[in-house]
Amino acid sequence: MTNPEEQRVALEKTKAELIIKLKAEEKPEDFGDDTDNGPDSEEADEAESLANKLSIGQAMRNRITEIDEALAAISGGTYGICTKCGGTIEPAVLRLVPESRLCEHCKKS
């Protein structure tokens, strides 16, 4: 059985780490003003870098939201209950992904 209090501590730690990484990821990258390869090449690099940062940032925000939902479930006494079927989420699943909302069976279907 998974201890909700231990999971809460782990989730809060992961959330804090993600927030730090997200702040670092959201800092704009300085490409300087070197135009050896032409201004269009530099703009393309900047656009690609920004798109990558936005994608990574969104994935981090989504995970933070999932962690917040898991923390709310712990507070509400519903942690470890599958939101799809209402069954118990396997302890092995919660150890691997503490913010999981689905049991192994529902994840596969």
Return the pLDDT at 93. 94
Count the domains in the chain. 1
pLDDT per residue as tens digits for the range 86-99:
999 999 999 999 99
Distance CA 96, CA 90 (A): 10
In the prediction, which pLDDT does 37 show?
57
Q: Is residue 65 part of a domain?
A: yes
Closest CA to 45 of 58, 27, 55, 32: 32
Domain interval for residue 55 = 4-79
pLDDT tens figures, 45-61: 777 878 888 899 999 99
Query: Is 67 a member of any domain?
Result: yes
Residue 69 lies in a domain: yes
Cα separation, 61 vs 102, in Å, equals: 19
**Position 87 in a domain:** no
Residue 33, domain member (yes or no): yes
Within a domain: 59: yes
Query: Measured at the alpha carbon of residue 55, what is the angle toward residues 51 and 61, in degrees to the nearest 5?
Result: 140
- Indicate whether 29 belongs to any domain: yes
Q: Does any domain span residue 94?
A: no
**Distance of CA 11 to CAs 15, 53, 58, 60, 101, Å?**
6, 24, 18, 14, 13
Bigger pLDDT: 49 or 65? Answer: 65
